Structure 1
Amino acid sequence: MNSEEMPLRSAGDKRDRLRIHLDNIGHGLIVLLPMAMAVANRSSPLVLACAALFVLASRLVSDGSDSYRLALKGLRSSALVFAICGIVYPLVTLAWALKPALGLFSWGEAVLPAVSSAVLIVSWRIAPPPRWMVGALATAMLIAAGFIVAELLFKLPLRHLYGGRLATFVHNRPVVTLLLLLGPVLVLIGFHRRWMLCWLVLLATVVAILESESEAAKLGLVAAAGTFALSYAPFVWVKRLLTVVLLGLIWMQPFFGSTVERIMPEKVIEATKAGNSEARIELWKAFGDVSRRYPIFGTGFASSPHMGSHPVAAEIDPAYRTMLNVGHPHNAFLQVWVELGAIGALFLTGLVLWVMKSLSGAPADIRRIGLVTLMTTSAIALVSHGAWQGWWIAAVTLAAALLTLRPAPSQPVE
């Protein structure tokens, strides 16, 4: 080796070490996300954004910007155009929103985790994450679930210590996050490879959900179990059935509240009083009335929190007018209609069709868990949470990003 080669090799070694450090930090932050949510239930967008930045930096250090150009070439231009339009159209609607400045902040809160997950997806096309990430993420989920159960059973002792908010509902967001990540993490680990860890994570997450106050998470758990059982039927029929169900839900939203009120038996409403079913129906009727008055373009992005002071409030039925002061309809599909109109519903329709098409070409186990995650997300979105909350977008998009990975091949048994 001559003297000129020594500095080159030294520089290359330093670059490799930097790449590895950045990669480990980025994926370590992904691992920490469930525990961060258990302690601070709005932290996931920041954690996910930092993780994406470190992973992006590691790929740029290793392969430069050309690697991202090559990775993006593999994506269909129609998908990129659809994604860009889906991001830009809400910005356009701020022109007629009641409070565009606050709407712009909400747009940023939603876009940050979505873009962060997109960066991870493209980065993982260049180079997969470290092999330890998924197992470590499962362990972190187990710890987070145990923390939540302990907090709920023993009246929030740790929150007394570190000064967190002393209310049991603060764990609703963390348990929803755990539920959405559960399927992708389990399929990537594989029950046949690490069955003990898989069962522990599954049982701990289910117990955390059942102990929590989140009726939405419990509904999501039921949807997950039902979809998992249904997924063993021929995929083409399951795909058609679930597509019809989801598109039907999207396009019936302007009349969703009145429809539920008409078809839901009184016994069911009584049985679900703990989940505020009566109030939710009134809420859906009020916001459904708004959506019918602004059917094409909606009232503007992130207008729901200010709907009580919107001019439309004076026009709707006084019987449920006060429900517009709640902040959002506790139904993401209906919120899309209220704020983005039928054009927003078209974007949702396109998203459902694109997801179904993507799952059609996936391996059977990823396809099955993809359907489970889609229906779990839809069930939760139908009854709870603001559509644009950053923690919610972070959980959904990180779950989707994990489903773009493939399980490690089984080690041969000697």
Structure 2
Amino acid sequence: MLAPMARRDALSDTILSYPFAAAVALLGPLAGLVPRGLPVWALTLMVLSGVLLARGGAPARLRPERWTSAAVLAFLALAAASAAWSPSGRAALTVVEIGYIALSATLAGACIADLPEDAARRLGWLFVGGLLTGILIFSVENALDHPLHRWVNGKAADDLSVTEGNVPKRAAALLALLVWPAALVLRRHGMRWIAPALPLGYAMLSLLQPSRSAIVGVGLGLAVFLAAQRWASATRRALAAALAAAFAGAIPAAWLFERVLDLDHAPWLFRSAQHRVEIWWRAAGRALETPLLGQGIDASRALKPMGETSQFDPLTESLLPLHPHNAFLQVWLELGAAGAALALAIALLVLAGTARLERDDQPYALASFTAALAMVSTAYGIWQAWWMAGMLAAGLMLVLATRVPRSGR
């Protein structure tokens, strides 16, 4: 089933290949039903990949990109150091979570990138089948008021509606990332028109679920996909400019939205969007108190109110609802300008890596990158383990898709 590295024949027979294939097949159902299970998925893939690499001559096969690796290590060092002044009791655990996601990317990425074409083809179909299963589960759940989610999470029928909670919203966000590598697998099998129908169909389905962030993510992903079909390089440059503007302008934008445009009172905005404007302003204010190195990793969840009030929710023990609902502000708040510079460098290096893909593959990678960029701008804490694992999964499945041989070869 799986045969990476120099000793491919030996590894194809190892029992480890079957759990690896099972992990790929189960990704879609996990994302659709138990999104918080993704960290376990990432750890499992990390261990399996590490063993497979070791059996196939790992040191010679690991080829991490030098500048990206350096930026990630520097970011981890800063995050680890900042745990010393972070008010969060789980700061060290957050650093560990970021670290194992980075290690999973290195090991599993190397393992998948060295797959022979036949193994990649089989794993690609397992991934697509699993994702379609996950989307089907998610669709049935939405139609029937989430009976499985209620059962898994212990929600009684007369409790607060599950759709008001985060489990279905997390699932919607993860599926919005994963439809793009699945579409690329189909494209490499020669399904030129069927491939984009998968994310388009999911976009239509997204209109029936409660996560506005997922709707925005898949919608912007489609727009970038269409643009990149004709202007891949220009689209990549536009995304790079948007990234730079997001990091440089996160704090000024929070001030503009709240103090100048008064968007937290705008009647045309839905209530949760108004609340986000207020949250962003409070996060920006605290970020300006420690502009160079920030308040410390994971500090967002532990900052105490200092006289601030909220028109939406009473402020008791925490200034923010766990995180600022914006990755750029969260990095500024917790790790300051140093962290923002390193995070921007990492994101730009990942984006630049899409230029090394085959021309027909690039729109799919850029669309998935855009979906992630859109959703980290409006929802979820960037260090939440399930969310980091979801972005890792999307990246790894894109690598897998690029290893699938094109139809006719």
Q: 1:350 to 1:158 in 2, by over 3 A?
A: closer
Q: 1:371 to 1:107 in 2, by over 3 A?
A: same
2:350 counterpart (314, 337, 355): 355
Q: Counterpart in 1 of 2:406?
A: 410
> Contact 2:298/2:334 (CA < 8 Å) preserved in 1?
yes
2:212 counterpart (187, 211, 215): 215
Q: 1:16 to 1:278 in 2, by over 3 A?
A: closer
Instruction: Tell me the secondary structure at the aligned position of residue 296 of structure 1.
Output: coil
> Contact 1:336/1:345 (CA < 8 Å) preserved in 2?
yes
Q: Which residues of structure 2 form unaligned runs of 5+?
A: 1-6, 157-161
Q: 1:69 to 1:16 in 2, by over 3 A?
A: closer
Q: Please give the residue correspondences for 1:393-408 in structure 2 after superposition, counting only pairs within 5 Å.
A: 393-405=388-400, 406-408=402-404
2:101 matches 1:113: yes
Equivalent-residue separation in structure 2 for 1:261 and 1:175 (angstroms) = 29
2:42 matches 1:48: yes
Q: 1:187 to 1:246 in 2, by over 3 A?
A: same
Cα shift readout 1:209-248 (whole Å, capped 9, x = no counterpart): 2222111101102211221122134333323222112101
Q: Counterpart in 1 of 2:72?
A: 83
Q: More deviation in 214-223 or 23-32?
A: 23-32
Q: Counterpart in 1 of 2:252?
A: 255
Q: Counterpart in 2 of 1:136?
A: 126
Question: Match of 2:281, as an amino acid?
Answer: K
Q: More deviation in 372-381 or 31-40?
A: 31-40
Equivalent-residue separation in structure 1 for 2:384 and 2:212 (angstroms) = 18
Offset, 1:199: 6.4
Q: Which residues of structure 1 form unaligned runs of 5+?
A: 1-11
Equivalent-residue separation in structure 1 for 2:189 and 2:266 (angstroms) = 42
Cα shift readout 1:339-383 (whole Å, capped 9, x = no counterpart): 000011101221232123222222112222222122211110000
Equivalent-residue separation in structure 2 for 1:410 and 1:361 (angstroms) = 17
Q: Counterpart in 1 of 2:159?
A: none
Q: Counterpart in 1 of 2:371?
A: 376
Equivalent-residue separation in structure 1 for 2:64 and 2:100 (angstroms) = 21
Offset, 1:255: 2.2
Q: More deviation in 144-153 or 52-61?
A: 52-61
Q: Please give the residue correspondences for 1:125-164 in structure 2 after superposition, counting only pairs within 5 Å.
A: 125-128=113-116, 129-160=119-150, 164=154
Question: Match of 1:56, as an amino acid?
Answer: G
2:181 matches 1:187: no
Instruction: Tell me the secondary structure at the aligned position of residue 148 of structure 2.
Output: helix
Q: Counterpart in 1 of 2:276?
A: 280
Offset, 1:42: 0.5
Equivalent-residue separation in structure 2 for 1:219 and 1:363 (angstroms) = 27
TM-score by length of 2: 0.85
Q: 1:203 to 1:239 in 2, by over 3 A?
A: closer
Offset, 1:186: 1.0
Q: Determine which structure has more spread, i.e. the larger CA radius of gyration.
A: 1
Equivalent-residue separation in structure 2 for 1:191 and 1:356 (angstroms) = 21
Which one has a larger percent helix, Structure 1 or Structure 2?
1
Instruction: Tell me the secondary structure at the aligned position of residue 344 of structure 1.
Output: helix
Q: More deviation in 32-41 or 126-135?
A: 126-135
Offset, 1:153: 1.5
Instruction: Tell me the secondary structure at the aligned position of residue 330 of structure 1.
Output: coil
Equivalent-residue separation in structure 2 for 1:212 and 1:358 (angstroms) = 33
Q: More deviation in 107-116 or 387-396?
A: 107-116
Q: 1:41 to 1:242 in 2, by over 3 A?
A: closer
Instruction: Tell me the secondary structure at the aligned position of residue 19 of structure 2.
Output: helix
Instruction: Tell me the secondary structure at the aligned position of residue 245 of structure 1.
Output: helix
Offset, 1:55: 3.1
Instruction: Tell me the secondary structure at the aligned position of residue 338 of structure 2.
Output: helix
Question: Match of 1:224, as an amino acid?
Answer: G
2:29 counterpart (35, 44, 69): 35
> Contact 2:188/2:406 (CA < 8 Å) preserved in 1?
no
Offset, 1:336: 0.4
> Contact 2:79/2:335 (CA < 8 Å) preserved in 1?
yes
Equivalent-residue separation in structure 2 for 1:249 and 1:58 (angstroms) = 39
Instruction: Tell me the secondary structure at the aligned position of residue 36 of structure 2.
Output: coil
Cα shift readout 1:247-297 (whole Å, capped 9, x = no counterpart): 0111111222222346769799544406x1111100000001011111000
> Contact 2:91/2:298 (CA < 8 Å) preserved in 1?
yes
Q: 1:69 to 1:266 in 2, by over 3 A?
A: closer
Identity of aligned residues (%): 20
Offset, 1:54: 1.9
Q: Counterpart in 2 of 1:178?
A: 175
Equivalent-residue separation in structure 2 for 1:267 and 1:288 (angstroms) = 15
Question: Match of 1:342, as an amino acid?
Answer: A
Question: Match of 2:48, as an amino acid?
Answer: F
Instruction: Tell me the secondary structure at the aligned position of residue 408 of structure 2.
Output: coil
Cα shift readout 1:48-69 (whole Å, capped 9, x = no counterpart): 21123223323333x2xxx321
Q: Counterpart in 2 of 1:102?
A: 90
Equivalent-residue separation in structure 2 for 1:384 and 1:14 (angstroms) = 45
Identify the structure with bigger relative contact order (alpha carbons < 8 Å, sequence gap 6+): 2
Equivalent-residue separation in structure 1 for 2:83 and 2:338 (angstroms) = 14
Equivalent-residue separation in structure 2 for 1:230 and 1:261 (angstroms) = 32
Q: Counterpart in 2 of 1:297?
A: 293
Cα shift readout 1:103-141 (whole Å, capped 9, x = no counterpart): 112222333233223211111234345421121211111
Q: Counterpart in 2 of 1:391?
A: 386
2:330 matches 1:335: yes
Q: Counterpart in 1 of 2:4?
A: none
Instruction: Tell me the secondary structure at the aligned position of residue 392 of structure 1.
Output: helix
2:232 matches 1:235: yes
Offset, 1:161: 5.1
